[in-house]
Every structure is written in structure tokens, then in C-alpha cells.
Structure 1
Amino acid sequence: MTNTLIFVDLATDDPAAAGDFYARVFGWENDARPHGIYHRMVPGGFFQNKDGSDSAIGNLHLGIFDAGNARPHPDPAGVEPRKLSSEGRKARIWILVGDDDDHNRILATAEELGGTILWRNHYWREFNGYNHAFADPWGNEIVLWVKAGENPAVPDDYTRE
């Protein structure tokens, strides 16, 4: 397969704190490489086959880099810009909530650790999923995806599209 997506990186001004945030919110391994410079969040496990068994494909990782000196780069001092983007739209990261977790716990933990709830309780019929979103303390937008299943009973308080 050509041009395979392997990582998505989030910018922060404190990679160690961001690594701890994502480890606590999602239960992922915080793999500092090296600590405070770049953190690789390791969800663990494998993508599942249709029958629920593990496939040979490991889950993608999320990288967290220091906006002040984004590595790797040929110049050891890095280059501008050295600050977090604060205006306009940014990339969004979509997280499929596992059957053994709950979007309410995730949102509450994110908020407790300094995240901001952006919206919740939305059903997207096109992809048959319940969605909720928060911004991490560095402004990155995270959208939660909860499988709705066959013939979903969408709660009355959910918006729909």
C-alpha cells in the first residue's frame, strides 16, 4: 500500500503535560521519546475484524510535539512559528470510544484536567454514530465517536443530521 497514514501529531507548549492528559483521559500509554520533547501516545491493541477478532493491523498512534521546537527538523534550533495556533479551524482528531469505556467519563476527565467541552449529544446518521467533542488544554479539538449500532434509538435530547 502506498502513502500510508501512520501518525497524526498535536502541537502543545508542554508535551509532558499533554502526554499525561491523554494517558489519563483515554488510558493510553504515554511513550516519551524523549520526555518533554516528543510524546507518542500508544492506544494499544489492534483493529478488529468484522467477527470481533484482532486483525494484524495495530492501532494508529498519536504524536504530541513541542510547538516551540517541532522535531524532527534539520535545524536543531527549529524554525518559526514557535507558538500554538489560536485562531480559526484546526485539524480534528476522531476517537472511537471503546465498548469498555464511556463518553461521559472521557468528557468529565478531560474537563477535570483543563479541557473544554465543545458540544455533546449529536447523532450523525450518514455514519451512524453518536458524537461529542472537547478541546484539550492546548486548543486541539477531539471528537468522540460512539457506535450507534443497528436500528439506533437516538435519544430525544440529541441533535441530528
Structure 2
Amino acid sequence: MPYPNTLIFVDLPAEDPTAAGIFYAEVFGWENEPRPNGLFHRLVPGGFFRHKDGSDSEIANLHLAIYRTDNARPYPDAYGAPPHTVAGPGRKARTWILVSDDDTPERILEAAETRGAKILWRDHFCKEFNGFNYAFMDPWGNEIVLWVKGGVNPVIPDHYTSE
């Protein structure tokens, strides 16, 4: 079997990539790399994926990027790919973030909401994938789902919804 195609990163649209880069740096503690400032920002979480024993693997974490909606690059035309607006209401891609053992979903949700995000849901357990999840919509309409590993024999609080 040939080597599979590899996901390298995902771009989120925003009318203001500079503000979006700052938002994600402050909410998640990621490095915000303007490339160039205001047009495209690469967000670098740093660190490496971890082995089950908690030690770092040799695989670096994936990156997330923010691109300016009115001039999505790269594109052969100097004015970028149309349409030049963010997607309207309705379903679109979601970005899943694994919450570090050094952080909490409550802190992330509070930081996001303070900076203009809308909380979509809290306190849900997904048995199929053994994880607790929470979600918010950033100020640019992108849906972010937080994931916390359930671990062995997870205790699900009574107030949580589950499936």
C-alpha cells in the first residue's frame, strides 16, 4: 500500500486574521506567527504528540492557520479566491482541540467567551470515543470543539449529557 496523503494543517477564515491570531494565542497559549501580518497567520501549539506513558514522541503537533476571507492565499489571482466572505449560518467544518492535562475546558471557555466567543455547549460525554466535550463559536463563526480524554472507567457527573 502506498504512503497515505498527509494532513498538514487546517485554515480557518476570518475577516481580521490579526485579531483572530491574537484570540487563539490568548485562549490556547499558542504561538501566533503572522505570515504576513493581517493576511495569513500560522498558529503553532508547540510541543509534540505524546506516547501513552506521557513522554514526547518525535511527531510535532499539527498547526492551525487563519486566512483573510477577502484575499484567500495562495491563489493565482492577486485578489484571492472568491467568495470573499465567511460562510453563512449552517453546518460547516469543526475544529477539534485536545485539552492539555495542564489546562481545563472551563478556563478555555471563559477565556474564549471573554474575547467574544459564543459558548455552544458544555458538559457532554461521548461514550463511543470516551471523551468529555465542550464547544464554542469564535467571533468569526468557526466552531471549536474541546475534547478531554475520559480515561479508564470515566466518572460522568450527573449534570452531563451523554451519548
Listed as ranges, the matches of 1:7-156 within 5 Å are 7-156=9-158
Q: What is the identity, as a one-letter code, of the residue corresponding to 1:50?
A: K
Structure 2 length-normalised TM: 0.97
- Hey, what's the Cα distance between the residues in 1 that align with 2:74 and 2:157? 46
Deviation at 1:79, TM superposition (A): 3.1
| Count of aligned residue pairs for this structure pair | 161
Gaps of 5+ in 1: none
Q: What is the identity, as a one-letter code, of the residue corresponding to 1:70?
A: A
Stretch deviating more after TM superposition (49-58 or 29-38):
49-58
Q: CA-atom RMSD, angstroms?
A: 0.7
Deviation at 1:86, TM superposition (A): 1.5
Deviation at 1:2, TM superposition (A): 2.8
- Hey, what's the Cα distance between the residues in 2 that align with 1:107 and 1:46? 24
Deviation at 1:80, TM superposition (A): 1.7
**Does the residue aligned with 2:18 lie in a helix, a strand or coil?**
helix
**Does the residue aligned with 2:12 lie in a helix, a strand or coil?**
strand
Q: What is the identity, as a one-letter code, of the residue corresponding to 1:83?
A: T
Residues 122-156 of structure 1 deviation map (CA, whole Å, 9 limit, x = unaligned): 00001110000000000000000011111111000
- Hey, what's the Cα distance between the residues in 1 that align with 2:52 and 2:110? 31
Gaps of 5+ in 2: none
Moved over 6 A (4+): none
**Does the residue aligned with 2:81 lie in a helix, a strand or coil?**
coil
Stretch deviating more after TM superposition (100-109 or 70-79):
70-79
Structure 1 length-normalised TM: 0.98
Cα pair 2:73 2:81 within 8 Å, conserved: no
- Hey, what's the Cα distance between the residues in 2 that align with 1:147 and 1:22? 22
